[in-house]
C-alpha cells in the first residue's frame, strides 16, 4: 500500500475513536478497514456492563462491511488505534475473525499514542491460525 493510503487509514482509525462507548473501562479503540475496491469502514469498541457482550472496534468495522454486502477475503488493510504507550494489537477473538475474513498477508497497522505505526499482517498476528480451509 502507498504511504498516503496507509496514513489515511490510520487517520480514520484515530478519528473514529472518540465515538467509542467505553464507560466501564474508559479504554477507547478505533479501527478502520479498507476493502479491495477502496471503500472504507470504521468501528469502535462498544462495551456492555456484561463484558462478554462487548464488541471490539475491529469486529465492529469488519461486521459492518460484511453487513453491507462485502464477502470474506475482500479486506485490503486494517488499522487499529488506541491511546496506549505500546502498539495495540487486536484481541484473540478479533484475530480469529480476521483469519475468517482476511487473506493471511492482509496488512494490519497498529498505532500508539505517540503517532508511531507498526505494520504487521493477519498471518503475523496469528501465525498458526486454523480456518475452514484447514478442515
C-beta separation of 90 from 80 below 8 A: yes
Enter the DSSP assignment of 99.
H
Cβ count within 10 A of residue 114:
7
The answer for residues whose C-beta is within 8 angstroms of residue 91's C-beta and 6 or more apart is 56
Nearest to 30 by CA among 103, 115, 90: 90
* Distance between CA atoms of residues 47 and 17, nearest Å: 13
Catalytic positions: 58
Residue 120, phi then psi, degrees to nearest 5: -135, -160
- DSSP letter assigned to residue 9: H
Amino acid at each position: 500500500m502507498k504511504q498516503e493510503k496507509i496514513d489515511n487509514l490510520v487517520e480514520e482509525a484515530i478519528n473514529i475513536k472518540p465515538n467509542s462507548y467505553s464507560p466501564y473501562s474508559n479504554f477507547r479503540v478505533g479501527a478502520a478497514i479498507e476493502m479491495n475496491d477502496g471503500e472504507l469502514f470504521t468501528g469502535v469498541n462498544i462495551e456492555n456492563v456484561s463484558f462478554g457482550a462487548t464488541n471490539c472496534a475491529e469486529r465492529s468495522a469488519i461486521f459492518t462491511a460484511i453487513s453491507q454486502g462485502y464477502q470474506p477475503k475482500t479486506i485490503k488493510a486494517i488499522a487499529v488505534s488506541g491511546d496506549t504507550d505500546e502498539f495495540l494489537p487486536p484481541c484473540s477473538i478479533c484475530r480469529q475473525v480476521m483469519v475468517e475474513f482476511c487473506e493471511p498477508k492482509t496488512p494490519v497497522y497498529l498505532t500508539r499514542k505517540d503517532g508511531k505505526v507498526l505494520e504487521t499482517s493477519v498471518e503475523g498476528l496469528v501465525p498458526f491460525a486454523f480456518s475452514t480451509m484447514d478442515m
